[in-house]
Amino acid sequence: MSEEIKVIVFKLGSEEYGIEVDKVQTIERMLPITRVPKTYAFVKGVINLRGVVIPVIDLRGRFGLEESEYSDQTRIIIVAVNDMEVGFIVDSANDVIDLQKDRIETPPEVVGGIKAKYLDGVAKIGDDRLLIMLNLSEVLNKNEIIQLESLEE
Amino acid sequence: MDMNQYLSMFIDESNDHLQSLNENMLLLEENPNDLSIVQVIFRSAHTLKGMAATMGFEDLAALTHQMENVLDLVRNEKLAMQDFIFDTLFKGLDALEAMVQDITEGGEGKADVTALLAALQAIVRGEDLSAKPSGNDASAGAASDTDANDSAGIQLDEFQYSVLSQSIADGHRVLYLDVHIHETCQLKAVRAYMVFDLLEKSGEVVKSEPSAQDIEQDNFDYSFSLYYITLKDPAELESQIMNVSEIEKVTVKELDEDTLKQMSQLGAASRESAATAEAPVTEGAVQHAADKEQTQKKAPAKTAAKTGGNTPNRTIRVDIERLDVLINLFSELLIDRVRLEQLASEVQNHALTETVEHMSRVSSDLQDIVMKLRMVPVDTVFSRFPRMVRDLAKSLDKKVDLVITGAETELDRTVIDEIGDPLVHLLRNAVDHGIEPIADRIAAGKPETGTVQLRAFHSGNHVFIEIEEDGRGIYRDKILKTALKKGVVTEEEAAGMSDEEVHQLLFAPGFSTAEKVSDVSGRGVGLDVVKAKITSLGGQVTIYSTPGKGTNFSVQLPLTLSIIAAMLVKMGSEKYAIPLSSIVETGIVRQEQIRKVHGNKMIEFRGMLIPLISLSRIFNIKDFDENEEAETEIIVIHKGERLAALAIDEFIGQNEIVLKGLGKYLPPIKGISGATILGDGQVALILDPNVFIK
């Protein structure tokens, strides 16, 4: 029996993604966002989360997917990795599941338009549900972003 | 009875009392005749004794009791404060502090204080311990009235007595001089100095009354007396002294063994009687206090406040994390407040509207207080330095004045907690390496007493703490030599370095300019540790130094989480905060007043052309463009001398804001120094106007 982890499940478009629960601080409904000028396009700005100013990024934008309108279902998932607190704007988040670690498989090169380096793996749950596990340190890796930016210029 | 529940209260209050004791003892040392300070000290000691006894800390109580006995005599004018009494009392305070520290750490506050107790008891019995090997013979302030009895002599300690009698035995002349300066004399200290100067050319002054230091500081009436060893003829000496202008009268008396003995005993006797009855003593004391009052305006005010209230800053200690939770919860409350206000305006219920309005008022008052909770005046750190500098100067045999300004400047609690150690280090450095020994200072033509300035002040988005002394300064060559020897820099690098860069070498790891390691600063930690600490707080240290003139260590600290005054402005739907410290003034310009110079927009401001900066363009603000406005509000900002105007949409108003960082994820953004949370819970970015002026 392999180790079991709890995973927060959220959606971007039709895909389901997972983040280990111990990296997630809270899940919030949409909050007023203050735009921060002169930063990456996917950084939507900063929010006030109970007195702490936290930057929020649109996860679709971060992965180079087309951004969508925010709705009642839109959530901000606050994650904390390497001393950084960041909010992810996702289409919806409404599930917590237990997952056996050995169910996670190495991801194929591209999943749902997202490069493999952002992913820890893919887990099959139930009959036909695929859960894409995010590699948070890569998602929040700033070095790579800077390269990307400079290429665009 | 279980005392544990009272323990933390006891510790807190004891620490407060110890702090107050230390402060007031220092104050008293400067004004030895101010009995009102003694009263404050006595009361503090008395309370401490009572608490310690109740809690069952016997040693603590016993020591405090003995100290109290000494103070009681002083308070009732039966004992004049002297240097050795101060030293003993300070040692007592140190022991008390150590005991309370022990209790804080879970110990029982036990300590071997028998030696101290004995010393204190000896003082109470009237024994003079100043001949102890402390080497300090300048007795401060025992103002005996020499006018009343010319031949009364001055009280001598054993050491001085034996020096004098030995000199007589060796065939030297021992003279007792009594000098009166004309009462119309404007600069009596200068005349006194001239007399001393003259005397020291042909002999040695063993003891003077008042002490040389007091005379130098003008703390004497128009006469002084002294014991003098010389080979000169008394009559010749007399005429020489009379040659100094504005000297009214000199009596020179040659002493033999018998008269010396008699006089020193007489001196002791007169001291006793002076302590009990003589009115002139108190008169003199009042005079001294008045003299001091002019030079030390702040001190008496402080004592007055303390005696009046009798409560040294009542505070409670709060876990800083709880405070954070409180502050965060409060911002949530504010968000709900705004929501409630909206609902109330929709519902239009009179009672509801009234209640919400009241709640708004209460909560904005609350907001003020909550925001200020984390701010602590730097005084909480500074207050322990006078004592430290005093002890340090004594142990190094230097004379140092510590002048503190801006102690009321407030800093965030977390910064306060961390800044103490670096400051201790810099102060030690200033006293140990900066200020020269007395002889060197005199040789360099400086006053004997070195001055260390400890300053705190706000400037822009920063708090500055500066430690400046008038010591020997930093010599570029000396640093470079050491740096080369230690391999910190290469020859080529050294040649091209600016003074500023050379000074920064002091902060290099393992670097120390001290030629010999003293027990004071040679503790194996150098300035590199200081720099590391300050950098970790987000601050920086700069050194300004003029060789031979002194050195200034300037510590710049960010106002993280501290509160600044800012102007809130609107640009379209976005709100920004501009620190008031950068703002010169606000105004309005009409479109036709805007000129173009080389394609740059300029406006005329007080006869000068200054650039008009378009924030909406720089920040890419979508719903505001000043070009579409007939009249644009502007804020004139400055960076040093240079000015510029920012075009904005609308003023919201002036407000106190709490600075917050943007988090670690975002890279530094030019023109934005942080964020703040407004009363309605929204985040507003804080502009860094310095960036806009090149």
Residues of B at the A interface (Cβ-Cβ below 8 Å)?
Answer: 324, 327-332, 335, 574-575, 618-621, 660-667, 669-672, 675, 677, 681-685
Can you tell me the distance from the alpha carbon of A40 to that of B354, in angstroms, rounded to the nearest whole number? 45
Pair (B389, B485) in one structural domain: yes
B450 vs B273 pLDDT, higher one: B450
Q: Is the CB of A39 inside 8 Å of chain B's CB atoms?
A: yes
**Of the given ranges (B447-456, B590-599, B673-682), which has the lowest mean pLDDT?**
B673-682
Is B687 part of any domain? yes
Mean pLDDT across the stretch B505-533? 61
Task: Tell me which chain A residues have a C-beta less than 8 angstroms from the C-beta of B335.
Answer: 48
pLDDT at B246 over 90: no
State the pLDDT confidence band at A15, using cuts at 50, 70 and 90. Answer: confident
pLDDT at B173 over 70: yes
What is the pLDDT, as a whole number, of residue B523?
37
The CATH number for B276's domain is 3.30.70.1110
Pair (B383, B507) in one structural domain: yes
C-alpha distances in Å from residue B189, one per residue of B186, B210, B631: 9, 12, 68
Q: Give φ, ψ of B497 to 5 degrees.
A: -85, 140
The complex's ipTM?
0.87
Structure tokens at B241: 């002294």
**Of the given ranges (B24-33, B51-60, B153-162), which has the lowest mean pLDDT?**
B153-162
Domain range holding B629?
563-692
pLDDT at B635 over 90: yes
What is the pLDDT, as a whole number, of residue B1?
47
Structure tokens at B261: 């003995």
What is the pLDDT, as a whole number, of residue B272?
45
Pair (B425, B544) in one structural domain: yes
Is B305 part of any domain? no
C-alpha distances in Å from residue A38, one per residue of A41, A42, B76, B235, B693: 9, 11, 73, 89, 18
The CATH number for B591's domain is 2.40.50.180
pLDDT tens string B108-127: 777 777 888 888 888 887 77
pLDDT at B217 over 80: no
> Residue B503: what residue type?
H
Buried b (16+ CB within 10 A) or exposed e, B614-639: bbbeebebeebbbeeeeebbbbbbbe
Partner residues linked to A92 by β-bridges: A11
Contact between B683 and A142 using a beta-carbon 8 Å cutoff: no
What is the pLDDT, as a whole number, of residue B418?
83
What is the pLDDT, as a whole number, of residue B662?
85
Q: What is the mean pLDDT of chain B?
A: 78
Contact between A86 and B665 using a beta-carbon 8 Å cutoff: yes
Neighbours of B476 (CB within 10 A): 16
Report pTM: 0.48
Contact between B663 and A84 using a beta-carbon 8 Å cutoff: yes
Pair (B68, B16) in one structural domain: yes
Structure tokens at B159: 């050491």
Q: What is the mean pLDDT of chain A?
A: 83
Q: Which of A46, A50, A85 sits opposite B328 (nearest CB)?
A: A50
Chain-centroid distance, C-alpha A102:
22
Is B146 part of any domain? no
Query: How close are the terminal C-alpha atoms of chain B, in Å?
Result: 70
pLDDT at B498 over 60: yes
Q: Which of B108, B140, B172 is the last residue of a domain?
A: B140
Catalytic-labelled residue, pool B46, B65, B458, B638: B46
Pair (B371, B383) in one structural domain: no
Can you tell me the distance from the alpha carbon of B270 to that of B266, in angstroms, rounded to the nearest whole number? 6
Is B583 part of any domain? yes
The DSSP bridge pattern shows strands A43-49 and A52-58 to be antiparallel
Cα-Cα-Cα-Cα dihedral sign, residues B126, B127, B129, B131: positive
Pair (B551, B534) in one structural domain: yes
Pair (B433, B570) in one structural domain: no
> Residue B56: what residue type?
G
Residues 6+ apart with CB under 8 A from B1: none
Is B582 part of any domain? yes
pLDDT at A113 over 70: no
Q: Which of B324, B675, B681 sits opposite A46 (nearest CB)?
A: B675
Pair (B510, B635) in one structural domain: no
Which residues 63-82 of A have a C-beta within 8 angstroms of B?
A: none
Partner residues linked to B456 by β-bridges: B465
> Residue B328: what residue type?
N
What is the pLDDT, as a whole number, of residue A146?
55
What is the pLDDT, as a whole number, of residue B419?
87
User: Catalytic: B332?
Assistant: no
Is B485 part of any domain? yes
Count H helices, E strands: chain B?
23, 22
State the pLDDT confidence band at B275, using cuts at 50, 70 and 90. Answer: very low
Q: Which of B377, B399, B424 is the last residue of a domain?
A: B377
What is the pLDDT, as a whole number, of residue B571?
92
Q: Which of B347, B362, B377 is the last residue of a domain?
A: B377
Catalytic-labelled residue, pool B429, B469, B503, B626: B429
B671 and B578 Cβ atoms separated by less than 8 Å:
no
Pair (B283, B337) in one structural domain: no
What is the pLDDT, as a whole number, of residue B244?
78
Residues in chain B: 694
What is the pLDDT, as a whole number, of residue B326?
84
Q: How many domains does chain B have?
A: 5
Pair (B346, B369) in one structural domain: yes
A59: distance to nearest CA of chain B, Å? 14
> Residue A51: what residue type?
G
Can you tell me the distance from the alpha carbon of B388 to that of B97, in angstroms, rounded to the nearest whole number? 14
Can you tell me the distance from the alpha carbon of B562 to that of B393, in angstroms, rounded to the nearest whole number? 35
Is B325 part of any domain? yes
pLDDT at B195 over 90: no
Contact between A48 and B681 using a beta-carbon 8 Å cutoff: yes
B637 and B594 Cβ atoms separated by less than 8 Å:
no
Cα-Cα-Cα-Cα dihedral sign, residues B42, B44, B48, B54: positive
B375 and B411 Cβ atoms separated by less than 8 Å:
yes
3-state class (DSSP) for residue B449? strand
The CATH number for B125's domain is 1.20.120.160
> Residue B95: what residue type?
A
State the pLDDT confidence band at B634, using cuts at 50, 70 and 90. Answer: very high
Structure tokens at B388: 């430290």
What is the pLDDT, as a whole number, of residue B130?
52
Contact between A52 and B666 using a beta-carbon 8 Å cutoff: no
Q: Give φ, ψ of B564 to 5 degrees.
A: -125, 160
Q: Which of A34, A37, A142 sits opposite B683 (nearest CB)?
A: A34
What is the pLDDT, as a whole number, of residue B422?
87
**Closest chain B residue to A40, measured at CA:** B666
Angle between helices B35-55 and B4-30 (to 10 degrees): 160
User: What is the phi-psi region of residue B606: left when phi exceeds 0, alpha when psi lies from -120 to 50, beta otherwise?
Assistant: left
Residues 6+ apart with CB under 8 A from A59: A12, A88, A89, A90, A139
B377 and B405 Cβ atoms separated by less than 8 Å:
no
Query: How close are the terminal C-alpha atoms of chain A, in Å?
Result: 50
What is the pLDDT, as a whole number, of residue B487?
75
Pair (B347, B384) in one structural domain: no
The CATH number for B477's domain is 3.30.565.10
Partner residues linked to B646 by β-bridges: B613, B635
pLDDT at B155 over 90: no
Neighbours of A123 (CB within 10 A): 22
Cα pseudo-dihedral B175, B181, B187, B192, rounded to 10:
0
Task: Tell me which chain A residues have a C-beta less than 8 angstroms from the C-beta of B324.
Answer: 51
What is the pLDDT, as a whole number, of residue B152?
54
Pair (B459, B405) in one structural domain: yes
Is B309 part of any domain? no
**Closest chain B residue to A44, measured at CA:** B666
